[in-house]
């Protein structure tokens, strides 16, 4: 997972979503709401399609899912499930880009804490690496350990569990492959007689298909080779990278 920036909608599209939410609220108040049928009818509209395109564009040319950052994001995902929370069904802040696999695995699972706040990470408002860790030996995403609380971070545990991020072998292999490629880029740079910092950083960013650089630079990865060597050999480059992912 990685932190993503929610795009702004064109005014006309935003107004359309607001009108649909108002209609949902009206129908719910009169006991006439069938949220699945309502969504199915609106999902096929050109305007909802434009909102989906905005989500896809925000994720870059490969349009990956906002949960796994691996498979192609194909549809709108309601972070707060629309069936249980119809009052958020057309709330733009509740829409994420999701792949078929993550959507199927998540389903309507949506754990809440004691204050009725989500335990699932929303990558548009939170940095997943505040709660998640990466296992470079297996390629799995796992919960981060909180040294202060001496326990695994609850949001990390819940997100890994809901999305099965530690039980998807193909996903783990692709994360592991990206990590290996990042390591190769850094190792090659360390051996270069004259390192061009701008090109090097650009190459790292292009190689990072799964948003692992924040873990490599600010997370536990900074203490592993070859990233610890990069930090020691090129503190200025390291500083630029840290600032980018702070």
HEC assignment per residue over 204-226: HHHHCCCCCHHHHHHCHHHHCCC
The per-residue pLDDT for 246 is 75
Give the gyration radius of the chain's Cα atoms: 20
pLDDT tens, 43-99? 999 999 999 999 999 999 999 999 999 999 999 999 999 999 999 999 999 999 999
Helix, strand, or coil here: 119?
Answer: coil
Mean pLDDT, range 2-27, rounded to an integer: 97
Q: Is the pLDDT of residue 203 over 80?
A: yes
Nearest to 104 by CA among 60, 67, 58, 63: 67
Q: Whole-angstrom Cα distance, residue 131 to residue 218?
A: 13
Helix (H) or strand (E) holding 152: strand 151-152
Nearest to 96 by CA among 123, 119, 131: 123
pLDDT tens, 111-170? 999 999 999 999 999 999 999 999 999 999 999 999 999 999 999 999 999 999 999 999
Q: Does the N-terminal peptide bond of residue 226 adopt cis geometry, omega within 30 degrees of 0?
A: yes
Helix axes 169-191, 197-207, angle to 10 degrees: 170
Q: How many residues does the chain have?
A: 246
The per-residue pLDDT for 14 is 98
């Amino acid at each position: 997972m990685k932190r993503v920036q929610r795009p702004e909608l064109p005014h006309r599209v935003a107004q359309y979503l607001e009108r649909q939410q108002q209609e949902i609220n009206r129908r719910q108040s009169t006991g006439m709401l069938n949220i699945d049928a309502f969504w199915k009818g609106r999902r096929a509209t050109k305007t909802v399609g434009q909102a989906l395109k905005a989500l896809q564009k925000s994720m870059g040319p490969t349009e990956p899912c906002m949960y796994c950052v691996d498979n192609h994001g194909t549809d709108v995902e309601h972070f707060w499930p629309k069936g249980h929370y119809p009052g958020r069904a057309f709330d733009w802040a509740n829409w994420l880009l999701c792949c078929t696999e993550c959507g199927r695995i998540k389903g309507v699972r949506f754990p809440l804490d004691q204050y009725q706040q989500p335990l699932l990470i929303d990558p548009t408002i939170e940095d997943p690496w505040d709660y998640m860790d990466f296992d470079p030996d297996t390629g799995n995403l796992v919960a981060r350990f909180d040294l202060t609380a001496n326990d695994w971070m609850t949001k990390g545990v819940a997100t890994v569990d809901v999305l099965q991020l530690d039980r998807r072998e193909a996903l783990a292999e692709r994360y592991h492959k990206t990590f290996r490629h990042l390591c190769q880029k850094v190792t090659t740079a360390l051996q270069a007689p004259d390192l061009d910092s701008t090109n090097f950083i650009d190459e790292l960013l292009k190689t990072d298909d799964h948003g692992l650089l924040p873990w490599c630079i600010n997370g536990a990865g900074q203490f592993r080779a070859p990233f610890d060597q990069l930090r020691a050999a090129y503190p200025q480059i390291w500083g630029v990278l840290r600032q980018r992912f702070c």
